[in-house]
Structures are given as structure tokens and as C-alpha cells.
Amino acid sequence: MNLNANPNIPEEVRAVAADGTQLRYALMEIAREMDDVIALGRGDPDLDTPPHIVEAAKAAIRDGRANPTPVKGMDDLRAAIAAHMRQVNGLPVGADNVMVTTGGQEGLFLAIQALIDPGDEILVPDPRYSSYDDAIQRAGGVMVAVPTNREDAFNLEAEAVEAAITPASKALLIVTPSNPTAGIVTEDRARAIADVAIRHNLIVIVDEIYGKIVYEPWRHFSIGSLPGMAERAITLDAFSKSYAMTGWRCGYVAAPANVIDAMARVKQVTTGPVATVSQWAGLAAITGPQDCVSEYLNIYTERRAVLLDGLDRMGFSYGEPRGGLFVWADSSSTGIHAAELSYLLLKEGRVLIFPGTAFGDQWREYVRITMLEPIDTLKEAVDRMLPVLERYRL
């Protein structure tokens, strides 16, 4: 189907939607000027940070415990993170293998800067979160896309990884659950990929920031827990998604001690240690009651069901969202180009979603839709989108 030939799309809409990457930012600007917009675009949790975490931060300020920490983070927090990752993820790590970062995104940036030299290739699943591109480019690395597909729920295949390897390949980036696809790397695939990484001597950087948000019957699995991976796996995580702490900017990395030391040298001359108050909040999150994590997962599970029902009613196809906070939906079944659809849904339906081109130029028929609104609001969003689709559908 030639979506650009859809006669129902006004020419001025085509002009605005021509550049999908810029459109993402343009859509956010347009939304700011509009009233009553339902935001299903950005990925920041809408739930409140649990009270015991907030109280821990307040207590740190009140008690004068907000002085700067070592660049790798507070010793107590690093030890707690290591214990958590041993228990929950099965990673064979101690405090010396952990560094606290200013969010998960900085963790990725520091790992890339410490490990990638100009000309090194790093294999990245496609589609991918676009911030990865920037980190790789700034290190002089070369990003090599490894394809995933909707029919396989965007699970990563060991065969596809191995087919992309060249003599210049140095690292593989795994994102599980994935942003934007909501796919996961299942245990059987992780085991096969680990075998490939070991045979080809690849470093494996694993972004697990959505690892606690995985939907039944699926389970999160950390590739770094497998034999032979301890010396080559760098695992990234953060408190932002699981504990609704996006604005606290507190993440962490588990890696071989020499990699942590190299990352710390970069962090020392750039951002310095993470804000101490945020570290106390992170310590409360990881050592305190975990009921909030399961409670939030239950909320997202209910929202996911509502959103998928709405997408089915609208005629979208999508990869099964097995984890994370998104649905990666194919707009081609509607007969409307994804970028044009994103613009029309905002202007006429007052619903903000993101076109797939923000996650790779070839994803022109996909949109990313988040579930970060209450159920009644998600239902309202579906009710707003339906008439827009019917108006422009071929």
C-alpha cells in the first residue's frame, strides 16, 4: 500500500509530517499550546514516587546528609545494589562492580565512552531508542543495526546477531524489555546470544531499565547471569521506571571492576557524583518494601489490556508488548502514514503519540503509544482516536 497516495490526507499535513524526527519535537510543542491533550507519547511514569522513598530523601536533607559522595556513589547504596542484583538478577557482582549514575541514560553514555574506540562497531537491535545513536557517535563508534520483527514480538535472534558481526565488531547492545517495541529477549534467546558473544569475544551492554515491568506469562532474564558473561557483561538499570522516580535521576551500572573504574574517570570530569539526596532515595527504594513495584505492575497490566483492546478496535497490528510501558503499533493497516497519523490525532483528536521514525528512519509505518495515563483517560483517548481514523482511513 502506498500510504503517501492516500487522497484523504491534506497536502499541508504531508508537508508537516515529512521529517519524522523533527515531527516528534514539533508535536510536543504543538501539544503544549493546546488544551486538554491526552499525552501518550513520552515515557515518564505518571504514578507518584512511593511515600517511603520521598520520606527518606526528606530525612537526608533534614539530618544534614546531603554532602557530595564519591564519584562512584555512596558505599551503602553500591553494596545494596550489588546485593539486589545478585538476588533478583543472578549477577555475580559485589560493590566494586557497581557505580551509581545520573539516570540510566548516563550509564549508557559512560559505558560507551569507556569501551568504544573510533571505528569500533557496536551491534544494536532495530528499532532502538535514539539516544543510543548519540552516545555511539560521540565515541566515534559505528552503529550496526540488527533487525527484529513484529511476528517474533521483536525478540532478538542469535542468528541475526551473528550475521551482523564483522572483524570491527566490539560490542552488542541488548535492550530488554525494549523501548520502543516492548519486546523482551527471552531466556532461550539470551543463552544463544551469550554463546555468540563468547565465541566472537563481544562485550555485551544490557539495558534492563524496564526489567521489573514484564507481563504474565513472560519473565525477565539477565544475560549477565550466564556462565562466561561476568567478564564481558555491562548491565544498566535505574530507579526511574519501576519506582516512578524519573525526575530523581538515579541509575546504576554493574560491570567488571576495571570497566567501572574507566567509567568513573569519565564521570569525574563531566557530571561528578549523583545528587546525594537522590542516592538516599535510591537506597530506600532498593532496600525498602517492594510492594510498590508489584502494585505499579498491576496498574500497568490493567492499562495494557485497555489500550490493546482499543488498538484492536481501531484495526492496528502490533508486536505483543511483553514488557515496558509502550505499544509499538503498525499504522499501515489504517492506510495512514504514521507521521501523518500522529499529526492528525493530535490536531483533531487531541491525543499525542510518537511516529516510529523517531526510533529509526525505516519505521515509517509504526507509532509508539504509551500506557501512562489512568484507565478512564486511556478509554477517552481511544474514543477520540476512532473518529479521526474513520475520517482518513482508506
CATH number of the domain enclosing 299: 3.90.1150.10
Residues 212-230, mean pLDDT to the nearest whole number: 98
269 and 216 part of one domain? yes
Q: How far apart are CA 286 and CA 42, in angstroms?
A: 25
Q: Which of 3-17, 81-95, 367-381 has the lowest mean pLDDT?
A: 3-17
What is the structure's pLDDT at 2? 43
22 and 88 part of one domain? no
Residue 14 confidence class, pLDDT cut points 50, 70, 90? low
Residue 239 confidence class, pLDDT cut points 50, 70, 90? very high
For the chain, strand residue ranges (E) read: 38-39, 98-101, 121-126, 142-147, 169-175, 203-207, 233-238, 251-254, 317-318, 326-330, 351-352, 354-355, 366-370
CATH code for the domain in which residue 157 is found: 3.40.640.10
Q: How far apart are CA 290 and CA 48, in angstroms?
A: 15
Which of 265, 287, 309 terminates a domain? The answer is 287
123 and 79 part of one domain? yes
Residue 3 confidence class, pLDDT cut points 50, 70, 90? very low
Which of 259, 287, 315 terminates a domain? The answer is 287
250 and 277 part of one domain? yes
331 and 250 part of one domain? no
Does pLDDT of 45 surpass 80? yes
Q: How far apart are CA 350 and CA 234, in angstroms?
A: 41
What is the structure's pLDDT at 334? 84
Average pLDDT, the chain: 93
195 and 96 part of one domain? yes
Does pLDDT of 40 surpass 60? yes
220 and 277 part of one domain? yes
Q: Which of 2-16, 54-68, 282-296 has the lowest mean pLDDT?
A: 2-16
Which of 230, 264, 287 terminates a domain? The answer is 287
18 and 130 part of one domain? no
Stronger pLDDT, 13 or 357, i.e. the higher one: 357
- Beta pairing class for 354-355 and 366-370: antiparallel
Query: How many structural domains compose the chain?
Result: 2
What is the structure's pLDDT at 26? 82
10 and 73 part of one domain? no
56 and 90 part of one domain? yes
200 and 66 part of one domain? yes
24 and 97 part of one domain? no
Counted residue by residue, the chain has a size of 394
Q: Which of 8-22, 203-217, 242-256 has the lowest mean pLDDT?
A: 8-22
Domain of 231 in residue numbering reads as 51-287
Does pLDDT of 122 surpass 60? yes
Own/partner long-range contacts of 28-37 (Cβ < 8 Å, ≥24 apart): 28/352, 30/346, 30/347, 31/346, 31/352, 34/346, 34/350, 35/350, 36/350, 37/346, 37/350, 37/351, 37/352
Does pLDDT of 30 surpass 90? no
What is the structure's pLDDT at 1? 38
Does pLDDT of 41 surpass 70? yes
**Each residue's pLDDT tens digit, 125-184:** 999 988 889 999 999 999 999 999 999 999 999 999 999 999 999 999 999 999 999 999
Q: What is the pTM assigned to this prediction?
A: 0.93
Residues 347-373, mean pLDDT to the nearest whole number: 91
